[in-house]
Structure 1
Amino acid sequence: MASDSDVPDAFDAFDASDVFDPRIYADGVPHDAYRALRERWPVAWQEEHEVLGWPTGTGFWAVTRHADVVRVLREPDAYSSYLGATQIRDPDPADLPFIRRMMLNQDPPHHGRLRRLVSRAFTPGRIERFTETARARARELLAGALDAGPETDLVRAVTDDYALLNLTDLLGVPASDRGLLLAWTERVIAYQDPDEPPVLDDLGRPVNPRSPAMLAEMFAYAQQLAAYKRRNPGDDVMSVLAGSELRPVELEMFFFLLTVAGNDTVRSAAPGGLLALARHPDERRRLWSGEVALDRAVEELLRVHPPVLSFRRTATRDTELAGRRIAAGDKVVVFHASANHDERVFADPHRLDLARHPNPHVSFGEGPHVCLGAHFARLQLRVLHEEARHTLGDLELTAPPRRLVSNFVNGLKSLPVRLRARSGSPHGDRGISGAGG
């Protein structure tokens, strides 16, 4: 644990800069608090207080500057994913061996073996073959949103289905089972949100959604699907994994990782990008007119709205970071959204600049754990924004978005907008008339 001399006093800790409490994020990413920490305490001790029924924890170091975040993520020998896993809350000690089976919660060299096995399924060729399917799906969902009327919730009408259906196509999950993947994802991702009440144990305590008991149903399904794919292989990721050298427990963990991370990365980033475009009409017009390249625009939208807010590591030894002494066993949590707005790296970081270059954001991580599905996610986002450019003539917020209560996932639960179809698109005349300008 951190020594008393290294825990900041009340003045230095700025009472207003708690970046742990999940409820803070319901009002938006706390950029003012991040900025204060970057300027005065870039590695800051945070109390892990009781909140929303979850008990107190040991506390952790919040890392908010870009260079320090990159250092932590690139040095698994000093900052481990394995020792305490990658969530801020400590898992039940009895569950830790189980949680460590997942690639996300391993360190090199064991992590590298699993990553190599799974990367065979994420070949550029396989992912590119999904491009036209994703394009047709984006076009269909956007058209449906326009047909439903000028005012709609883009999360419900477009982005949730877009992310989920693309993932199930890639995995090879039958259409009839897609609802299961959504339910499992929400159980894991939204566990801090009051709209998704936690499952309680016999003593009335919340049960970690990543515990063996909570994942048993998903794992049983993964084994059933793998058995089916061995008999009936297809051009999908589960067919590759089912025929690989993965042990059964490893296959289960990969199915969990792909289902949750593969779905929620795009499910969070897609509406976040559309929200940024709605709030910055001048930049949106630059993109939709073709003045800005789509690939660069996607990177900037990922910078301002990273799908993941934080990841935890555990110090393997006594070390030092940004002048702070870190003790072996301390929790060290990197904050991606803060690093992406570090004035030392990004000029005018709170300005949306869709042509920004270079753009070394850390929205997909860094180091050995850089997101395995980043190429797939970028492809989906590029296609969605390309089809929005072809289909939509206007995009205007009609009410504040509703955000997920989470210090982990940068999610939107609703994005209410007024849409107008692009002139010359199949919906052009009807959309312009219905929107009333």
Structure 2
Amino acid sequence: MDLAELVNPDTYVRGVPHELLARLRAEHPVVWVDEPAIDGWPAGPGFWAVLRHADVRHVLRSPATFSSSLGATQIRDPSTPEALRYVRRMMLNMDPPEHSRLRGLLTRAFTPRAIARLQERITGWARELVARIDGPCDFAQVAADLPLLTLAEVFGVPAPDRWLMFDWSNRVIGYQDPEYAVSARTDAGSSTELARAALAVRPKPDAHGRMPDPRTREGMPDLYAYAHALGEFKRREPGDDVMSNLMTYVDDEGGRVSLAEFENLFWLFSVAGNETLRNGLPGGLIALLSDVDVYRAVRADRSLLPGAVEEMLRWWTPVMNFRRTATEDTTLAGTRIKAGDKVVVWFSSANRDEDVFPDPDRFDPGRRGEHLTFGHGPHFCLGAHLARVQMRAMFDAVLDLPGELRIDGEVQRLRSNFQNGVKHLPVRWS
């Protein structure tokens, strides 16, 4: 069985290889996968792919044995020791207690007042975006603006600057895709002075058309220039947004978020907080339209929408995998794992585990069972609530449109072995 298909980004242009994942779950729930050289990146040492729901849960809730920090959370190892030190400073790549401290500070910044204001604004934005649809359109492009508007509100970023986050997430998440790797949609002429200063240091492709590694600080100088200036401004002149709350909060021990920590949180939210939902929205629509009878049922009975959103998140699963590193010799599902081995949990597989989700390839809004799209354990996604609010708001607006919706052309997927991405989703209303 050729497992190179799992790490080859070309595979996912055609779709997630669910048939292969199903065979592996049945035969080798924890399986060794070699890492071939890809796109000029050298071959890696290989990793253990964890495919069953119960085993993925176990890995995610056991940070003492399966570390997020030792080798960070992407399959491919950082290229240099300095690159590893850089990514370890991000909350995503921390272990307790460092992770717990920063997560606690960030959680307190999402005050009930801030959340209530966000929810009200999200509903309005979703309605405005859908109201602009007139005839056939690219739903992926329509949906892309909702997480940008939400993140701009969270950070207190001026609305014209939100497309910076679109470009940054394209370059980081879509670095394996020729189109996304050089994303430069932001127009300096319609941006703020803060954005123009960042754009002045935006890197350009080299003679071979390649951008610098976006998973290093040096590869994203424009993002960090903007984040640094924004963090200084929020500390000096705080507003009503969530990140102003974060920058002014002082805990019982007198601790507060440093400017460097703010920069890395800005990276995390701008990229991960944007790209996951941006792909979850068109992916959710593809899921909903996979069964016209289900689509019509949800359209007629909106009480089914919360369950449909959860099923969209399971069925599509935007983030396909995350990596941990074994801190000691251990055993998982009868497989011996050595200290230092990479252990990669495969959400796309766990969310279709037949032991938890009978008939897993079918879209069923009434389905029971805990999907793992937002993770599990100490790194459970902080943005899960906001993601659900945005999805419900967008699909409630979409389902209110007159006539029935249909996919109207070829779905173009992102070339990535990490994000289950949709670049273009042509649709029309009948």
Q: Same fold (TM over 0.5)?
A: yes
User: In the aligned structure 2, how far is the partner of 1:82 from the partner of 1:201?
Assistant: 31
Aligned to 2:216: 211
Q: Rate the CA distance shift 1:231–1:300 in 2: closer, same or farther, 3 A.
A: same
Alignment pair present for 1:62 and 2:44: no
1:77 aligned residue (58, 61, 64): 64
CA displacement at 1:307 relative to structure 2: 1.8
Q: Any idea what SS the aligned residue of 1:45 has?
A: strand
Task: Establish whether residue 49 from structure 1 lines up as the match of residue 49 from structure 2.
Answer: no
Q: Take 1:195 and 1:205, find their aligned partners in 2: how far apart are those partners?
A: 11
Write out per-residue CA displacement over residues 389-421 of structure 1, whole angstroms, 9 at most, x where no aligned residue: 2224311111231111111111100101112xx
Correspondence for 2:389 among 379, 390, 400: 379
Q: Any conservation in 1 of the 2:9–2:176 contact (CA below 8 Å)?
A: yes
Aligned to 1:19: 6
Write the distance in 1 (CA, Å) between the matches of 2:27 and 2:209. Answer: 40
Amino acid across the alignment from 1:326: I
Whether the 8 Å contact between 2:231 and 2:259 is mirrored in structure 1 is no
Query: Which residue in 2 is equivalent to 1:153?
Result: 138
Which residue in the other structure is 1:171 paired with? Answer: 155
- Residue type of the alignment partner of 1:231: R
Which residue in the other structure is 2:198 paired with?
A: none
**Residues 317, 207 of structure 1: alpha-carbon distance in 2 compared, 3 angstrom cutoff:** farther
Q: Is 1:242 aligned to residue 247 of structure 2? A: yes
Quick one: distance in 2 between partners of 1:152 and 1:23?
26
| CA displacement at 1:173 relative to structure 2 | 0.3
Which of 341, 346, 355 is matched with 1:330 structurally? 341
Shift of 1:291: 6.2
Instruction: Give the direction of change, closer, same or farther, for the CA distance of 1:84–1:268 in structure 2 (3 Å limit).
Output: same
| Residues 81/417 of structure 1: CA separation in 2 closer, same or farther (3 Å cut) | same
Give 1:30's aligned amino acid.
Answer: P
Stretches of structure 1 that go unaligned for 5 or more consecutive residues are 1-13, 420-436
Match of 1:38 among 25, 29, 33: 25
Secondary structure, aligned partner of 2:406: strand
Q: Deviations over 1:131-184 (max 9, x none)?
A: 222122111211211x2x2x211011x111112112112221012311211111
Shift of 1:124: 4.4
> Quick check: 1:17–1:34 contact (8 Å CA) kept in 2?
no
Matched with 1:400 is 410
Q: Is the 8 A contact 2:181 2:211 kept in 1?
A: no
- TM-score normalised by structure 2 residue count: 0.89
Shift of 1:349: 0.8
Post-superposition Cα deviations, 1:193-218, rounded to whole Å, max 9, x if no partner, equal 13234777899987431212023321
For 1:17 and 1:334, locate their aligned partners in 2 and report how far apart those are by CA, in whole Å.
16
Looking at structure 1, the residues matched to 101 and 3 of structure 2 have their Cα atoms a distance apart, in angstroms, of 43
CA distance in 1, matches of 2:42, 2:103: 34
> 1:229 Cα shift?
2.1
Structure 2 counterparts to residues 109-128 of structure 1, below 5 A: 109-128=97-116
Three-state SS of the structure 2 residue aligned to 1:58 is strand
Whole-angstrom distance in 2 between the partners of 1:84 and 1:305:
27
Could you tell me how far apart the structure 1 residues matched to 2:333 and 2:8 are? 24
> Residue 300 of structure 1 is aligned with which of 293, 307, 311?
311
Would the alpha carbon gap of residues 197 and 132 (structure 1) be closer, same or farther in structure 2, given more than 3 Å must change?
A: closer
C-alpha distance 291-102 of structure 1, shift in aligned 2 (>3 A): closer
Secondary structure in 2 matching 1:279: coil
For 1:275 and 1:348, locate their aligned partners in 2 and report how far apart those are by CA, in whole Å.
18
Query: Does the Cα contact within 8 Å between 2:44 and 2:77 map onto a contact in 1?
Result: yes
* TM-score for the superposition, normalised by structure 1: 0.88
**1:413 pairs with 2:423:** yes
1:17 Cα deviation (Å)? 6.7
Pair 1:136-2:124 in alignment: yes
Q: Helix, strand or coil: the match of 1:18?
A: helix
CA contact (8 A) 1:53 1:205 kept: no
Inter-partner Cα distance in structure 1 for 2:117 and 2:318: 24
Listed one character per residue, the Cα deviations across residues 18-42 of structure 1 (whole Å, up to 9, x for unaligned) are: 3111111111111011001101111
* Kept in 1: contact 2:53–2:356 (CA 8 A): yes
2:173 aligns to what?
Answer: 189
- Which residue type is aligned with residue 240 of structure 2? D
Superposed CA RMSD in Å reads 1.9
Aligned partner of 2:233: which letter?
Y
Unaligned regions of 5+ residues in structure 2, if any?
183-203, 250-255
Counterpart mapping for 1:350-389 below 5 A: 350-357=361-368, 359-389=369-399
